[in-house]
Amino acid sequence: MNIIDDIILHSPALIVAIPLLGAFLTPLISKINDKVRNVFVISIVLFTSAIVLLLANDIYSACGKIHTYVFGGTAAITEGGFAVRILFEVDGLNIFMAIITTILAISGVIYSWAFMKENTGLDKYYTLYLLMIAGMFGMILTGDMFNFFVFLEITSIASCALIAFWTSKGKAVDAGFKYIVISAIGALFILFAIAILYGQYNALNMAVLASNIQFSFLDKIALVILISGLAMKAGIVPMHMWLPDAYGRAPASVTLILVGVTQASLYGALRMIFTVYGGKLTTTINQIGDVNIDLNLLLGIFIVGLALVTIFIGVLMALKENNFKRMIAFAAVAEIGYIILAIGAALTTVFSATDPRTGIMALKGGIFHILNDALDIGLLFLVAGAIYYATKETSLNRLGGLARNMKYTTIFFLIGLLAVSGMPPMNGFASKLMIYESTYQVNPILSIIAILCSILLLAVFVKVFHSAFLGPKLPKFDNVKEVPKSMLLAMGIIACIIIFIGLFPDLVVNNIVQPAVNALTNNSNYINNVIGGI
């Protein structure tokens, strides 16, 4: 039997299992040598990435193809008709998120080599790092509600321990505690919602649930609890208090993956709304005069409201913040606002029978922006980490004139700056333009607010660029050197991808984003892949 076919057949399990195995082998391997351990971890991540790319190639080979992998059996549903088997179901959206995770994981692990070199306890660091990556892949690929919860918890436990990795700093431990409180409560909310759904439909399978869902009163409660739990994990505004602390205090290589964890939570919300509840979202829940108030409209307006608040507060807090990393963290909050703005706008229009094009466009923009946000914010955090590595300084008041000593870092920061504020040659422009266009069709005010906030974001980062990189050379930074090569390589990888996407957005939208959008809007395909195979 051909080994490549075998790997593709088993790939959804391998993508999760190989980082998991690597995580448990790391403490043993680090007994040998530090260098061997680093090479081992990087090779584990590269191997996983290769499998992700193989699987992506397989998924994209045919339109609407779904790879279903059942653990410990072949059929998703057992003979008695019980859907108790755990399965991984990979469609266009899953593989899109997996590609994002892959990019973040590769650059994060390369960055860690030099960035974390002077720390002790690195065997635990790499164990948790691989656990976090495995948990993220699990969250992204799973097709089972409870499994989603388990991987969510694995991710949040590992990432909490990593946020508090620098335990000598009180604020890092404080941030870790905040993060674990919020994520534990969020995860318990999700578990409660899963229990409500299980009590009604006797199934944990997303596809089986989606085919059975009736939209009773309890289902609505479950939807609200699910969305609020996932919003806590994603850092949407009323629940965003942990995010600046956690992003700001964690080591930069960890923050990079944390950005991905937030996106994975957003993916969870998308999956729950569009796939599990997708068939019943157009239920009319109220009538005012002749106008039907459909559920999707209500949910969409609610999400758009949350998104506007998120964008506003993120940008305004970023304006007044003085700490480099916390400021980028607030910008990350604002960027998440853009994603959910697009999702909310899409929800209001995508189910319309006459003209779903606006909704599709908004959804495309939102999903494309998930990729761009992960790359842009990730690059900025890596630059912030590089500056911290070189100067041991995070406050913007005490930085200045770094462009003279750190040429490449300056260039990377400039790329990230232009990308995150949506300037034309970079990738942020492509996705933000799609969001502006589609939200303008929904309501012009939305896109005006979005554009204004994007300009404010540019102002924020120009201020940082001026105060950190430009200006006269400060005498205390005379000995500052360019950061080591591995960190430059990690930043370079992300910067190259940003420029590539910025130059050829059509290529990415047509080949990667479009299958993800199709997977979201067409949930019967997802259901049939499991139910039809009895």
Binding residues for other proteins, rule: CB under 8 A, are 1, 6, 10, 13-14, 17, 20-21, 24-25, 27-28, 69-74, 84, 146, 149-150, 153, 157, 160-161, 164, 167, 170-171, 173-177, 180-181, 184-185, 187-188, 191-192, 195, 198-199, 204, 245, 323, 394-395
CB of 92 to other proteins, least distance (A): 23
Q: How many residues does the chain have?
A: 534
Strand partners, 287: 292
- Among 490, 493, 494, 338, residue whose Cα is nearest residue 416: 494
CB of 393 to other proteins, least distance (A): 10
Can you state the percent helix, strand and coil of the chain, rounding each to 5? 75, 5, 20
By C-beta, is 164 or 402 nearer to other proteins? 164
Neighbours of 174 (CB within 10 A): 15
CB of 201 to other proteins, least distance (A): 12
CB of 85 to other proteins, least distance (A): 10
Asked whether the beta carbons of 258 and 373 are under 8 A apart, the reply is: no
CB of 394 to other proteins, least distance (A): 7
By C-beta, is 151 or 429 nearer to other proteins? 151
CB of 199 to other proteins, least distance (A): 5
To the nearest 10°, the Cα dihedral for 160, 106, 339, 14?
-80
Distance of CA 228 to the CA centre of its chain: 17
- Among 242, 402, 393, 434, residue whose Cα is nearest residue 330: 242
By C-beta, is 11 or 112 nearer to other proteins? 11
Give the ranges where 202-322 is alpha helix by DSSP (H).
206-212, 217-234, 242-249, 252-270, 295-320
By C-beta, is 324 or 469 nearer to other proteins? 324
Give the ranges where 350-466 is alpha helix by DSSP (H).
357-391, 407-420, 427-442, 444-464
Q: Which residues of 58-70 are buried (b: 16+ CB within 10 A; e: fewer)?
A: bbeeeeebbbbbb
The label of the residue with tokens 């990079």 reads 256
By C-beta, is 27 or 425 nearer to other proteins? 27
By C-beta, is 53 or 185 nearer to other proteins? 185
By C-beta, is 122 or 363 nearer to other proteins? 122
CA 92/CA 78 separation, integer angstroms: 26
CB of 26 to other proteins, least distance (A): 8
